[in-house]
Amino acid sequence: MRQITPIFKREFLGYFRSPVAYVFLIAFLVISVSLAFSRYGGFFRAGVAGMESYFTFFPWLFMFIVPAVGMRLWSEEKRSGTVELLFTLPITTLEAVLGKFLAGWAFLGLAILLSFPMALTVGYLGSPDWGVVATTYFGAILMAGSYLGVCALMSALTKNQVISFVLSLGGCAILLFLGFSSFTDTLEGILPIAAADALANFSFITHFDAFTKGIIDPKDVLFFLSLMGFTLFLNVVALER
């Protein structure tokens, strides 16, 4: 497992070797902050010293933005042929998968944490419950990891980055929409209620909600972690086939 470090280092710094990282970080922060200040976010109108209006859009925003980070993970290596170089170096597939995934996750975590001026603003304007702010950040980072797991898997399936992006978007959208009543109602029409309920439990929104209210439920943490574990396992299988 010590081979994870060099892979992680190369991949993480790789984001900053091209303009990709800067474009991404700026776009992410501008979009997320403007959504919170928009009339849909109602950051000021809510009259609450909290960050809920900032984080409510995260599951939606992640649907587009995480595939943008994840699409290159494997597709790029496959297209440029460096995957052959990587897998003839003395590393196992699992080490490569973990190294790359953790690098992408760390990058997303950095993007999320760079929203700290929002937290400072809230702290300046009122006295927020810092515990809730902390659990929300924790939940957002966990959720980002789950999205990234899906995207990394999709990226391993194709050498075309556009296909990888579209597949990731589709995969993330399904996992997002499973939580909506209109969607689950349709499902309940087709499937037995128990099955529809079970499916609805796979939604990001359902599991992210508790974090934004200051609750760290082990069930939710376990959901995100096991989703990551499962997609990473499939990622290894997809690369080794």
Partner 1 sequence: MIEVKGLVKTYGSKRAVDGVTFSVKRGDILGFLGPNGAGKSTTMKMITGYLRPDAGTATVDGINVATDPVAVKQKLGYLPESAPAYPEMTVEEFLGFIADVRGFRTAAANRTQVDRAVALTHLEPVRKQTIETLSKGFKQRVGFAQALLHDPAALVLDEPTDGLDPNQKNEVRSLIKSMATAKAVILSTHILEEVDAICNRVIIISRGRVVADETPAQLRARQPGARIDEIFRTLTHGDI
Q: Which residue, 3 or 206, is less far from partner 1 as judged by CB? A: 3
Q: Which residue, 85 or 113, is less far from partner 1 as judged by CB? A: 85
Closest distance between partner 1 and the C-beta of residue 88, in Å? 5
Closest distance between partner 1 and the C-beta of residue 195, in Å? 38
Which among 103, 107, 112 is positioned nearest to 136, based on CA atoms?
Answer: 112
Closest distance between partner 1 and the C-beta of residue 198, in Å? 37
Q: Which residue, 17 or 39, is less far from partner 1 as judged by CB? A: 17
Q: Which residue, 6 or 131, is less far from partner 1 as judged by CB? A: 6
For the record, the structure tokens of 18 come out as 């091209």
Closest distance between partner 1 and the C-beta of residue 25, in Å? 17
Q: Which residue, 34 or 82, is less far from partner 1 as judged by CB? A: 82
Closest distance between partner 1 and the C-beta of residue 145, in Å? 24
Q: Which residue, 82 or 201, is less far from partner 1 as judged by CB? A: 82
Closest distance between partner 1 and the C-beta of residue 90, in Å? 4
Binding footprint of partner 1 on the chain (CB under 8 A): 3, 5-7, 9-10, 14, 17-18, 80-82, 84-85, 87-92
For the record, the structure tokens of 87 come out as 């897998």
Closest distance between partner 1 and the C-beta of residue 201, in Å? 38
Tell me if 47 sits within 8 A of 14, measured CB to CB: no
Q: How far is CA 130 from CA 23, 123, 172, 209, 214, in A?
A: 30, 9, 30, 17, 9
User: What is the C-alpha to C-alpha distance for residues 180 and 172, in angstroms, rounded to an integer?
Assistant: 14
Q: Which residue, 15 or 137, is less far from partner 1 as judged by CB? A: 15
